[in-house]
Structure 1
Amino acid sequence: MNSSNALRILVVEDDELTAWAIEEALIAAGYNVCSKARDYETAIRVRKQESPDLALIDIRLNGQLDGIALAKELTDIEWIPLIYLTANTEMETYNRARKTSPAAFLHKPFRPRELSMQIDLALDNFYKWRIPAGKRPPEDVFVWHDKAYVRVNTGQIMLINASGGYSELILTNEEFARIAPGSVHQGVLLSVPFKNVLFYLNDNFYRASRSICINLKHVDRVESDRVFLGQHEVLLPVGKHKELLERLPVIRSRR
Protein backbone atom coordinates (compact mmCIF):
# COMPACT_ATOMS: atom_id res chain seq x y z
CA MET A 1 0.00 0.00 0.00
CA ASN A 2 1.51 3.37 -0.90
CA SER A 3 1.93 6.07 1.75
CA SER A 4 -0.97 8.18 0.48
CA ASN A 5 -3.36 5.29 1.07
CA ALA A 6 -1.89 4.03 4.35
CA LEU A 7 -4.23 4.05 7.33
CA ARG A 8 -3.41 7.04 9.56
CA ILE A 9 -3.52 6.01 13.21
CA LEU A 10 -3.58 8.06 16.41
CA VAL A 11 -1.96 6.25 19.36
CA VAL A 12 -3.08 7.36 22.82
CA GLU A 13 -0.87 5.72 25.45
CA ASP A 14 0.69 7.30 28.53
CA ASP A 15 3.47 4.72 28.91
CA GLU A 16 6.32 5.86 26.67
CA LEU A 17 7.85 2.42 26.11
CA THR A 18 4.48 0.88 25.21
CA ALA A 19 3.69 3.77 22.85
CA TRP A 20 7.08 3.32 21.16
CA ALA A 21 6.50 -0.45 20.75
CA ILE A 22 3.05 0.17 19.26
CA GLU A 23 4.40 2.75 16.82
CA GLU A 24 7.20 0.42 15.72
CA ALA A 25 4.75 -2.47 15.17
CA LEU A 26 2.34 -0.27 13.20
CA ILE A 27 5.04 1.13 10.92
CA ALA A 28 6.39 -2.38 10.29
CA ALA A 29 2.87 -3.47 9.29
CA GLY A 30 2.61 -0.62 6.74
CA TYR A 31 0.47 1.79 8.74
CA ASN A 32 1.08 5.50 9.29
CA VAL A 33 1.23 6.74 12.89
CA CYS A 34 0.09 10.32 12.38
CA SER A 35 0.76 11.17 16.03
CA LYS A 36 1.04 9.90 19.59
CA ALA A 37 -0.61 11.42 22.65
CA ARG A 38 -0.18 10.74 26.37
CA ASP A 39 -3.28 12.44 27.78
CA TYR A 40 -6.85 13.55 27.06
CA GLU A 41 -6.07 17.16 26.13
CA THR A 42 -3.24 16.31 23.74
CA ALA A 43 -5.30 13.62 22.04
CA ILE A 44 -8.19 16.03 21.40
CA ARG A 45 -5.83 18.62 19.92
CA VAL A 46 -4.14 16.04 17.70
CA ARG A 47 -7.51 14.65 16.60
CA LYS A 48 -8.59 18.06 15.31
CA GLN A 49 -5.26 18.84 13.64
CA GLU A 50 -4.36 15.48 12.10
CA SER A 51 -7.77 13.88 11.34
CA PRO A 52 -6.65 10.26 11.88
CA ASP A 53 -8.58 7.36 10.34
CA LEU A 54 -8.42 5.17 13.44
CA ALA A 55 -7.51 5.62 17.11
CA LEU A 56 -5.77 3.18 19.43
CA ILE A 57 -6.66 4.29 22.96
CA ASP A 58 -5.41 3.02 26.29
CA ILE A 59 -8.41 2.87 28.62
CA ARG A 60 -6.33 3.96 31.62
CA LEU A 61 -4.72 7.38 31.14
CA ASN A 62 -3.09 9.69 33.64
CA GLY A 63 -5.44 12.45 34.74
CA GLN A 64 -9.08 12.77 35.70
CA LEU A 65 -10.44 11.78 32.29
CA ASP A 66 -9.72 8.25 31.09
CA GLY A 67 -9.61 6.69 27.63
CA ILE A 68 -13.33 5.97 27.62
CA ALA A 69 -14.18 9.64 28.14
CA LEU A 70 -11.66 10.49 25.43
CA ALA A 71 -13.20 8.01 22.99
CA LYS A 72 -16.62 9.60 23.41
CA GLU A 73 -15.22 13.07 22.73
CA LEU A 74 -13.22 11.90 19.69
CA THR A 75 -16.24 10.32 18.04
CA ASP A 76 -18.34 13.40 18.77
CA ILE A 77 -15.87 15.29 16.56
CA GLU A 78 -16.18 12.69 13.79
CA TRP A 79 -17.03 9.00 13.89
CA ILE A 80 -13.92 6.87 13.38
CA PRO A 81 -12.99 3.30 14.35
CA LEU A 82 -11.70 2.88 17.91
CA ILE A 83 -9.55 0.12 19.36
CA TYR A 84 -9.15 0.03 23.11
CA LEU A 85 -5.84 -1.03 24.65
CA THR A 86 -6.36 -2.48 28.10
CA ALA A 87 -4.79 -4.57 30.79
CA ASN A 88 -7.99 -4.23 32.81
CA THR A 89 -10.58 -6.97 32.58
CA GLU A 90 -13.05 -5.60 35.15
CA MET A 91 -16.61 -6.02 33.92
CA GLU A 92 -17.61 -2.51 35.00
CA THR A 93 -14.83 -0.97 32.90
CA TYR A 94 -15.67 -3.21 29.97
CA ASN A 95 -19.36 -2.23 30.08
CA ARG A 96 -18.46 1.48 30.15
CA ALA A 97 -16.14 1.05 27.20
CA ARG A 98 -18.67 -0.98 25.23
CA LYS A 99 -21.14 1.94 25.30
CA THR A 100 -18.77 3.94 23.08
CA SER A 101 -19.12 1.29 20.31
CA PRO A 102 -15.45 0.34 19.92
CA ALA A 103 -14.52 -1.64 16.84
CA ALA A 104 -12.18 -3.93 18.80
CA PHE A 105 -10.38 -4.54 22.13
CA LEU A 106 -6.68 -5.34 22.37
CA HIS A 107 -5.30 -6.73 25.63
CA LYS A 108 -1.84 -5.83 26.85
CA PRO A 109 0.81 -7.03 26.51
CA PHE A 110 0.00 -7.27 22.79
CA ARG A 111 1.78 -9.17 20.02
CA PRO A 112 2.60 -7.27 16.78
CA ARG A 113 0.71 -9.76 14.61
CA GLU A 114 -2.33 -9.52 16.87
CA LEU A 115 -2.24 -5.73 16.59
CA SER A 116 -2.44 -5.89 12.80
CA MET A 117 -5.25 -8.46 12.94
CA GLN A 118 -7.26 -6.30 15.36
CA ILE A 119 -6.92 -3.30 13.06
CA ASP A 120 -8.26 -5.32 10.12
CA LEU A 121 -11.11 -6.55 12.33
CA ALA A 122 -11.83 -3.01 13.49
CA LEU A 123 -12.11 -1.73 9.92
CA ASP A 124 -14.32 -4.64 8.95
CA ASN A 125 -16.62 -4.06 11.93
CA PHE A 126 -16.68 -0.30 11.45
CA TYR A 127 -17.73 -0.37 7.81
CA LYS A 128 -20.20 -3.18 8.33
CA TRP A 129 -22.46 -1.46 10.84
CA ARG A 130 -24.39 1.76 10.82
CA ILE A 131 -22.91 4.98 12.17
CA PRO A 132 -24.87 5.90 15.33
CA ALA A 133 -27.49 8.64 15.03
CA GLY A 134 -26.08 12.12 15.48
CA LYS A 135 -22.53 11.19 14.46
CA ARG A 136 -20.97 12.91 11.45
CA PRO A 137 -19.90 10.59 8.60
CA PRO A 138 -16.15 10.59 7.87
CA GLU A 139 -14.84 12.46 4.82
CA ASP A 140 -12.64 9.51 3.95
CA VAL A 141 -13.59 5.84 4.06
CA PHE A 142 -11.51 2.71 3.63
CA VAL A 143 -12.72 0.11 1.14
CA TRP A 144 -11.34 -3.29 0.16
CA HIS A 145 -9.56 -3.06 -3.20
CA ASP A 146 -6.70 -5.06 -4.66
CA LYS A 147 -5.95 -7.10 -1.53
CA ALA A 148 -5.91 -4.16 0.89
CA TYR A 149 -8.05 -1.47 2.49
CA VAL A 150 -7.50 1.77 0.57
CA ARG A 151 -8.55 5.28 1.43
CA VAL A 152 -11.29 6.84 -0.71
CA ASN A 153 -12.42 10.42 -0.31
CA THR A 154 -16.22 10.36 -0.37
CA GLY A 155 -16.28 13.68 -2.21
CA GLN A 156 -14.57 11.93 -5.13
CA ILE A 157 -17.27 9.27 -5.44
CA MET A 158 -19.36 10.32 -8.43
CA LEU A 159 -22.06 7.70 -8.11
CA ILE A 160 -22.84 4.30 -6.65
CA ASN A 161 -24.52 1.42 -8.45
CA ALA A 162 -26.11 -1.41 -6.48
CA SER A 163 -26.84 -4.97 -7.53
CA GLY A 164 -27.92 -7.60 -5.04
CA GLY A 165 -25.49 -7.62 -2.14
CA TYR A 166 -22.84 -5.68 -4.07
CA SER A 167 -22.14 -1.96 -4.49
CA GLU A 168 -19.98 -0.40 -7.20
CA LEU A 169 -18.26 2.92 -6.54
CA ILE A 170 -17.63 5.09 -9.60
CA LEU A 171 -14.77 7.42 -8.72
CA THR A 172 -13.39 10.47 -10.43
CA ASN A 173 -10.45 9.84 -12.75
CA GLU A 174 -8.10 11.53 -10.30
CA GLU A 175 -9.22 9.47 -7.31
CA PHE A 176 -9.05 6.15 -9.13
CA ALA A 177 -5.57 6.99 -10.45
CA ARG A 178 -4.49 7.73 -6.90
CA ILE A 179 -5.67 4.43 -5.39
CA ALA A 180 -4.77 2.30 -8.41
CA PRO A 181 -1.93 4.02 -10.31
CA GLY A 182 -1.37 2.61 -13.79
CA SER A 183 -4.67 0.68 -13.86
CA VAL A 184 -7.48 1.11 -16.37
CA HIS A 185 -10.24 3.16 -14.79
CA GLN A 186 -13.10 0.97 -13.61
CA GLY A 187 -15.67 0.78 -10.84
CA VAL A 188 -14.59 -0.35 -7.39
CA LEU A 189 -16.76 -3.34 -6.54
CA LEU A 190 -17.59 -3.95 -2.88
CA SER A 191 -19.27 -7.01 -1.44
CA VAL A 192 -21.37 -4.70 0.72
CA PRO A 193 -25.13 -4.04 0.47
CA PHE A 194 -26.18 -0.65 -0.89
CA LYS A 195 -27.81 0.46 2.37
CA ASN A 196 -24.60 -0.15 4.32
CA VAL A 197 -22.61 2.12 2.00
CA LEU A 198 -25.20 4.91 2.23
CA PHE A 199 -24.67 5.19 5.99
CA TYR A 200 -21.19 6.60 5.33
CA LEU A 201 -22.21 9.31 2.88
CA ASN A 202 -23.03 12.92 3.68
CA ASP A 203 -25.88 15.13 2.48
CA ASN A 204 -24.22 15.75 -0.89
CA PHE A 205 -25.47 12.36 -2.04
CA TYR A 206 -28.91 11.86 -3.53
CA ARG A 207 -30.62 8.54 -4.14
CA ALA A 208 -31.71 8.91 -7.75
CA SER A 209 -33.33 5.49 -7.88
CA ARG A 210 -33.61 2.28 -5.92
CA SER A 211 -30.16 1.15 -7.03
CA ILE A 212 -28.30 4.38 -7.88
CA CYS A 213 -27.00 7.16 -5.65
CA ILE A 214 -25.31 10.23 -7.14
CA ASN A 215 -23.00 12.87 -5.73
CA LEU A 216 -24.65 16.24 -6.32
CA LYS A 217 -21.24 17.95 -6.43
CA HIS A 218 -20.51 16.14 -9.70
CA VAL A 219 -23.80 16.81 -11.50
CA ASP A 220 -23.13 18.63 -14.79
CA ARG A 221 -26.52 18.54 -16.51
CA VAL A 222 -30.11 17.66 -15.59
CA GLU A 223 -32.71 16.80 -18.23
CA SER A 224 -36.32 15.79 -17.71
CA ASP A 225 -35.54 12.09 -17.53
CA ARG A 226 -31.79 11.85 -16.95
CA VAL A 227 -28.82 13.42 -15.23
CA PHE A 228 -25.20 13.62 -16.37
CA LEU A 229 -22.12 13.37 -14.18
CA GLY A 230 -19.05 13.77 -16.37
CA GLN A 231 -19.24 10.92 -18.91
CA HIS A 232 -21.83 9.04 -16.87
CA GLU A 233 -25.54 9.16 -17.64
CA VAL A 234 -28.17 8.19 -15.08
CA LEU A 235 -31.85 7.71 -15.95
CA LEU A 236 -34.31 9.38 -13.58
CA PRO A 237 -37.53 7.59 -12.60
CA VAL A 238 -40.80 9.48 -13.02
CA GLY A 239 -41.12 12.21 -10.39
CA LYS A 240 -37.41 12.39 -9.57
CA HIS A 241 -36.63 15.34 -11.85
CA LYS A 242 -38.41 17.91 -9.68
CA GLU A 243 -37.09 16.36 -6.47
CA LEU A 244 -33.53 16.47 -7.76
CA LEU A 245 -33.78 20.12 -8.79
CA GLU A 246 -34.93 20.99 -5.28
CA ARG A 247 -31.63 19.61 -4.00
CA LEU A 248 -29.58 21.75 -6.37
CA PRO A 249 -28.86 25.52 -6.25
CA VAL A 250 -30.95 26.33 -9.33
CA ILE A 251 -31.39 29.92 -10.56
CA ARG A 252 -34.88 29.84 -12.00
CA SER A 253 -35.53 31.56 -15.33
CA ARG A 254 -38.13 31.60 -18.08
CA ARG A 255 -37.73 29.00 -20.78
Structure 2
Amino acid sequence: MNILIVEDEPNYADTLEMFVDELGYQTIGIAEEGQKALKFFRSKQPDLVLLDINIEGEMSGIDLARIFQAERPTPVIFITSYDDKDTFNKAKETVPSAYLIKPFDPVQLERSMELATLRAYTTSHEEDVFEDNRHVVLAKDFFFVKERNKLVKLMITDILWVSVEDKYCILHTENKKFVIRQSLKELADKLNPQEFVQTHRSHIVNIKKVEDIDLSQFTIAINGEEVPLGKSYKDNLIHRLQTL
Protein backbone atom coordinates (compact mmCIF):
# COMPACT_ATOMS: atom_id res chain seq x y z
CA MET A 1 0.00 0.00 0.00
CA ASN A 2 1.36 3.43 -0.98
CA ILE A 3 1.00 6.19 1.62
CA LEU A 4 1.23 9.98 1.21
CA ILE A 5 2.18 11.88 4.39
CA VAL A 6 1.21 15.56 4.65
CA GLU A 7 2.81 16.97 7.80
CA ASP A 8 4.78 20.19 8.39
CA GLU A 9 6.33 19.18 11.71
CA PRO A 10 9.58 17.33 10.85
CA ASN A 11 9.54 15.17 13.98
CA TYR A 12 6.00 13.97 13.33
CA ALA A 13 6.73 13.48 9.63
CA ASP A 14 9.76 11.30 10.44
CA THR A 15 7.79 9.34 13.04
CA LEU A 16 4.98 8.65 10.58
CA GLU A 17 7.41 7.58 7.87
CA MET A 18 9.12 5.10 10.22
CA PHE A 19 5.72 3.83 11.36
CA VAL A 20 4.56 3.28 7.79
CA ASP A 21 7.81 1.43 7.00
CA GLU A 22 7.44 -0.82 10.08
CA LEU A 23 3.97 -1.83 8.89
CA GLY A 24 5.45 -2.93 5.56
CA TYR A 25 3.88 -0.11 3.54
CA GLN A 26 5.54 2.37 1.18
CA THR A 27 5.76 6.13 1.74
CA ILE A 28 5.53 7.72 -1.71
CA GLY A 29 6.05 11.29 -0.51
CA ILE A 30 6.20 13.66 2.46
CA ALA A 31 4.75 17.14 1.93
CA GLU A 32 4.72 20.05 4.36
CA GLU A 33 2.40 22.28 2.30
CA GLY A 34 -0.57 21.99 -0.04
CA GLN A 35 0.94 22.47 -3.50
CA LYS A 36 3.62 19.87 -2.89
CA ALA A 37 1.01 17.48 -1.51
CA LEU A 38 -1.14 17.95 -4.62
CA LYS A 39 1.86 17.24 -6.85
CA PHE A 40 2.54 13.96 -5.02
CA PHE A 41 -1.15 13.05 -5.03
CA ARG A 42 -1.56 13.56 -8.77
CA SER A 43 1.70 11.92 -9.86
CA LYS A 44 1.97 9.03 -7.37
CA GLN A 45 -1.73 8.27 -6.78
CA PRO A 46 -1.47 7.07 -3.16
CA ASP A 47 -3.78 4.44 -1.70
CA LEU A 48 -4.09 6.35 1.59
CA VAL A 49 -3.25 9.86 2.87
CA LEU A 50 -2.12 10.66 6.42
CA LEU A 51 -3.04 14.32 6.65
CA ASP A 52 -2.36 17.08 9.19
CA ILE A 53 -4.91 19.90 9.27
CA ASN A 54 -2.64 22.83 10.16
CA ILE A 55 0.06 22.84 7.47
CA GLU A 56 2.24 25.45 5.79
CA GLY A 57 0.90 27.57 2.95
CA GLU A 58 -2.52 28.91 2.05
CA MET A 59 -4.35 25.58 2.04
CA SER A 60 -5.30 23.67 5.16
CA GLY A 61 -5.44 19.92 5.38
CA ILE A 62 -9.23 20.16 5.14
CA ASP A 63 -8.92 22.13 1.89
CA LEU A 64 -6.59 19.45 0.54
CA ALA A 65 -8.95 16.65 1.52
CA ARG A 66 -11.77 18.33 -0.43
CA ILE A 67 -9.56 18.50 -3.54
CA PHE A 68 -8.41 14.90 -3.14
CA GLN A 69 -11.96 13.59 -2.89
CA ALA A 70 -13.10 15.67 -5.87
CA GLU A 71 -10.26 14.47 -8.11
CA ARG A 72 -9.86 10.85 -7.03
CA PRO A 73 -11.70 9.60 -3.93
CA THR A 74 -8.99 8.31 -1.60
CA PRO A 75 -9.06 7.28 2.08
CA VAL A 76 -7.84 10.13 4.29
CA ILE A 77 -6.87 9.94 7.96
CA PHE A 78 -6.54 13.28 9.74
CA ILE A 79 -3.80 13.41 12.38
CA THR A 80 -4.05 16.76 14.12
CA SER A 81 -3.62 18.67 17.35
CA TYR A 82 -7.03 20.32 16.85
CA ASP A 83 -9.59 18.61 19.06
CA ASP A 84 -12.23 21.36 19.03
CA LYS A 85 -15.71 20.59 17.73
CA ASP A 86 -15.71 23.28 15.04
CA THR A 87 -12.58 21.93 13.33
CA PHE A 88 -13.87 18.37 13.63
CA ASN A 89 -17.19 19.31 12.00
CA LYS A 90 -15.39 20.99 9.08
CA ALA A 91 -13.14 17.95 8.66
CA LYS A 92 -16.15 15.64 8.86
CA GLU A 93 -17.58 17.25 5.71
CA THR A 94 -14.74 15.64 3.69
CA VAL A 95 -15.80 12.17 4.98
CA PRO A 96 -12.41 11.11 6.37
CA SER A 97 -11.71 7.53 7.33
CA ALA A 98 -10.52 8.61 10.79
CA TYR A 99 -9.76 11.70 12.90
CA LEU A 100 -6.87 11.15 15.35
CA ILE A 101 -5.52 13.61 17.90
CA LYS A 102 -1.78 14.13 18.43
CA PRO A 103 0.09 12.51 19.98
CA PHE A 104 -1.45 9.56 18.14
CA ASP A 105 -1.67 6.03 19.48
CA PRO A 106 0.30 3.75 17.07
CA VAL A 107 -2.13 0.86 17.58
CA GLN A 108 -5.12 3.10 16.88
CA LEU A 109 -3.46 4.49 13.76
CA GLU A 110 -2.58 1.02 12.48
CA ARG A 111 -6.15 -0.19 12.93
CA SER A 112 -7.55 2.98 11.38
CA MET A 113 -5.34 2.46 8.32
CA GLU A 114 -6.43 -1.16 7.94
CA LEU A 115 -10.13 -0.31 8.28
CA ALA A 116 -9.80 2.64 5.88
CA THR A 117 -8.35 0.53 3.10
CA LEU A 118 -10.75 -2.34 3.82
CA ARG A 119 -13.76 -0.08 3.39
CA ALA A 120 -12.37 1.75 0.38
CA TYR A 121 -10.92 -1.11 -1.64
CA THR A 122 -12.96 -4.13 -0.60
CA THR A 123 -16.56 -3.01 -0.22
CA SER A 124 -16.72 -0.67 -3.21
CA HIS A 125 -14.44 -2.50 -5.61
CA GLU A 126 -15.95 -5.92 -5.04
CA GLU A 127 -19.49 -4.89 -5.87
CA ASP A 128 -20.89 -7.47 -8.27
CA VAL A 129 -22.42 -5.62 -11.22
CA PHE A 130 -23.96 -8.81 -12.62
CA GLU A 131 -27.09 -9.99 -10.90
CA ASP A 132 -27.21 -13.54 -9.52
CA ASN A 133 -24.35 -14.86 -11.67
CA ARG A 134 -22.85 -17.28 -9.15
CA HIS A 135 -24.24 -20.35 -10.92
CA VAL A 136 -23.35 -19.25 -14.46
CA VAL A 137 -20.37 -21.18 -15.84
CA LEU A 138 -17.86 -18.99 -17.63
CA ALA A 139 -16.96 -19.96 -21.22
CA LYS A 140 -17.84 -23.65 -21.44
CA ASP A 141 -15.34 -24.38 -24.22
CA PHE A 142 -12.32 -24.59 -21.91
CA PHE A 143 -11.21 -25.62 -18.43
CA PHE A 144 -8.71 -24.10 -16.03
CA VAL A 145 -6.59 -26.90 -14.56
CA LYS A 146 -4.71 -26.26 -11.31
CA GLU A 147 -0.95 -26.82 -11.50
CA ARG A 148 0.73 -25.90 -8.22
CA ASN A 149 -0.14 -22.23 -7.69
CA LYS A 150 -1.41 -21.60 -11.22
CA LEU A 151 -4.63 -22.22 -13.12
CA VAL A 152 -3.64 -23.32 -16.63
CA LYS A 153 -6.09 -22.91 -19.49
CA LEU A 154 -7.01 -26.10 -21.37
CA MET A 155 -9.23 -25.96 -24.43
CA ILE A 156 -11.70 -28.85 -24.34
CA THR A 157 -11.19 -29.41 -28.07
CA ASP A 158 -7.49 -30.12 -27.34
CA ILE A 159 -8.33 -33.13 -25.17
CA LEU A 160 -7.58 -36.32 -27.14
CA TRP A 161 -8.72 -38.80 -24.53
CA VAL A 162 -9.06 -39.25 -20.78
CA SER A 163 -7.74 -42.18 -18.78
CA VAL A 164 -8.02 -43.12 -15.11
CA GLU A 165 -5.25 -44.14 -12.72
CA ASP A 166 -6.23 -44.76 -9.10
CA LYS A 167 -8.16 -41.68 -7.94
CA TYR A 168 -6.88 -39.46 -10.74
CA CYS A 169 -8.03 -38.62 -14.24
CA ILE A 170 -5.35 -37.93 -16.85
CA LEU A 171 -6.31 -35.57 -19.65
CA HIS A 172 -4.17 -36.36 -22.70
CA THR A 173 -3.44 -33.62 -25.24
CA GLU A 174 -1.05 -33.63 -28.17
CA ASN A 175 1.85 -32.19 -26.19
CA LYS A 176 0.97 -32.51 -22.53
CA LYS A 177 -0.87 -34.48 -19.86
CA PHE A 178 -3.00 -32.87 -17.16
CA VAL A 179 -3.59 -34.82 -13.94
CA ILE A 180 -6.65 -33.98 -11.85
CA ARG A 181 -8.07 -35.55 -8.70
CA GLN A 182 -11.56 -36.25 -9.98
CA SER A 183 -13.61 -39.29 -10.91
CA LEU A 184 -14.33 -40.19 -14.52
CA LYS A 185 -18.04 -39.67 -13.88
CA GLU A 186 -17.51 -36.17 -12.47
CA LEU A 187 -15.41 -35.22 -15.48
CA ALA A 188 -17.84 -36.79 -17.95
CA ASP A 189 -20.61 -34.56 -16.59
CA LYS A 190 -18.60 -31.53 -17.79
CA LEU A 191 -17.99 -32.84 -21.32
CA ASN A 192 -20.22 -32.62 -24.36
CA PRO A 193 -21.74 -36.12 -24.90
CA GLN A 194 -21.92 -35.45 -28.66
CA GLU A 195 -18.14 -35.15 -28.81
CA PHE A 196 -16.89 -37.38 -25.99
CA VAL A 197 -17.78 -41.05 -25.52
CA GLN A 198 -16.75 -43.71 -23.05
CA THR A 199 -14.90 -46.57 -24.76
CA HIS A 200 -13.64 -48.44 -21.72
CA ARG A 201 -14.39 -48.48 -18.00
CA SER A 202 -11.38 -46.23 -17.52
CA HIS A 203 -11.30 -44.28 -20.81
CA ILE A 204 -13.21 -41.50 -22.55
CA VAL A 205 -12.22 -40.36 -26.04
CA ASN A 206 -12.79 -37.24 -28.11
CA ILE A 207 -14.53 -38.74 -31.12
CA LYS A 208 -13.28 -35.94 -33.36
CA LYS A 209 -9.69 -37.02 -32.67
CA VAL A 210 -10.20 -40.71 -33.49
CA GLU A 211 -8.16 -41.87 -36.50
CA ASP A 212 -9.45 -45.43 -36.76
CA ILE A 213 -11.18 -48.15 -34.77
CA ASP A 214 -9.81 -51.70 -34.89
CA LEU A 215 -12.82 -53.91 -34.22
CA SER A 216 -10.75 -57.08 -34.12
CA GLN A 217 -8.08 -55.78 -31.72
CA PHE A 218 -10.51 -53.67 -29.74
CA THR A 219 -8.35 -50.55 -29.95
CA ILE A 220 -8.86 -46.97 -31.03
CA ALA A 221 -6.06 -45.01 -32.68
CA ILE A 222 -5.62 -41.40 -31.57
CA ASN A 223 -2.56 -39.30 -32.32
CA GLY A 224 -0.56 -42.39 -33.21
CA GLU A 225 -1.38 -44.17 -29.93
CA GLU A 226 -3.80 -46.96 -29.08
CA VAL A 227 -6.64 -46.50 -26.60
CA PRO A 228 -8.54 -49.61 -25.41
CA LEU A 229 -12.08 -50.31 -26.60
CA GLY A 230 -14.02 -52.42 -24.11
CA LYS A 231 -16.26 -55.11 -25.60
CA SER A 232 -19.25 -53.89 -23.61
CA TYR A 233 -18.78 -50.36 -24.99
CA LYS A 234 -18.18 -51.31 -28.64
CA ASP A 235 -21.81 -51.75 -29.72
CA ASN A 236 -22.89 -48.42 -28.24
CA LEU A 237 -20.00 -46.65 -29.96
CA ILE A 238 -20.68 -48.21 -33.37
CA HIS A 239 -24.40 -47.54 -33.05
CA ARG A 240 -23.81 -43.84 -32.44
CA LEU A 241 -21.26 -43.32 -35.24
CA GLN A 242 -22.14 -42.10 -38.69
CA THR A 243 -20.96 -44.94 -40.93
CA LEU A 244 -21.07 -45.66 -44.66
TM-score w.r.t. the length of structure 2 is 0.51
**Alignment partner of 2:39 out of 37, 40, 45:** 45
Q: Do the aligned partners of residues 161 and 104 (structure 1) sit closer, same or farther apart at CA in structure 2, a change above 3 Å counting?
A: same
Deviation at residue 162 of structure 1 after TM alignment: 6.3
Deviation at residue 76 of structure 1 after TM alignment: 1.8
- Give the share of equivalent positions with the same residue, in percent: 29
The answer for the alignment partner of 1:71 in structure 2 is 65
3-state SS, counterpart of residue 10 of structure 1: strand
Unaligned runs of 5+ in 2: 139-147, 153-244
Over 3 Å off, 4+ runs: 127-130, 159-164
3-state SS, counterpart of residue 79 of structure 1: coil
Count of matched residue pairs:
140
Unaligned runs of 5+ in 1: 1-6, 131-140, 144-158, 171-181, 187-255
Q: Which amino acid aligns with 1:40?
A: G
Measured against aligned partners, the alpha-carbon deviations of 1:114-169 in whole angstroms (never above 9, x if no partner) come to 22111012123334776xxxxxxxxxx6x7xxxxxxxxxxxxxxx976659x9xxx
Q: Do the aligned partners of residues 24 and 73 (structure 1) sit closer, same or farther apart at CA in structure 2, a change above 3 Å counting?
A: same
Partners in 1 of 2:30 and 2:151 — Cα distance? 37
Q: Do the aligned partners of residues 185 and 97 (structure 1) sit closer, same or farther apart at CA in structure 2, a change above 3 Å counting?
A: farther
Deviation at residue 37 of structure 1 after TM alignment: 0.4
Partners in 1 of 2:44 and 2:88 — Cα distance? 28
Deviation at residue 27 of structure 1 after TM alignment: 0.4
**Alignment partner of 2:97 out of 79, 103, 126:** 103
Q: Which amino acid aligns with 1:183?
A: N
Pair 1:32-2:23 in alignment: no
TM-score w.r.t. the length of structure 1 is 0.49
Partners in 1 of 2:70 and 2:119 — Cα distance? 19
Q: Which amino acid aligns with 2:109?
A: L
Contact 1:85 1:105 in 2 (8 A): yes
The answer for the alignment partner of 1:112 in structure 2 is 106
Q: 1:215-254 counterparts in 2 under 5 A? A: none
Partners in 2 of 1:58 and 1:77 — Cα distance? 19
Deviation at residue 70 of structure 1 after TM alignment: 0.6
Task: For CA contacts below 8 A with separation 6 or more, give which structure has more relative contact order.
Answer: 1
Q: Which amino acid aligns with 1:120?
A: E
Which stretch of structure 1 is more off in the superposition, 65-74 or 117-126? 117-126
The answer for the alignment partner of 1:184 in structure 2 is 150
Larger radius of gyration: 2
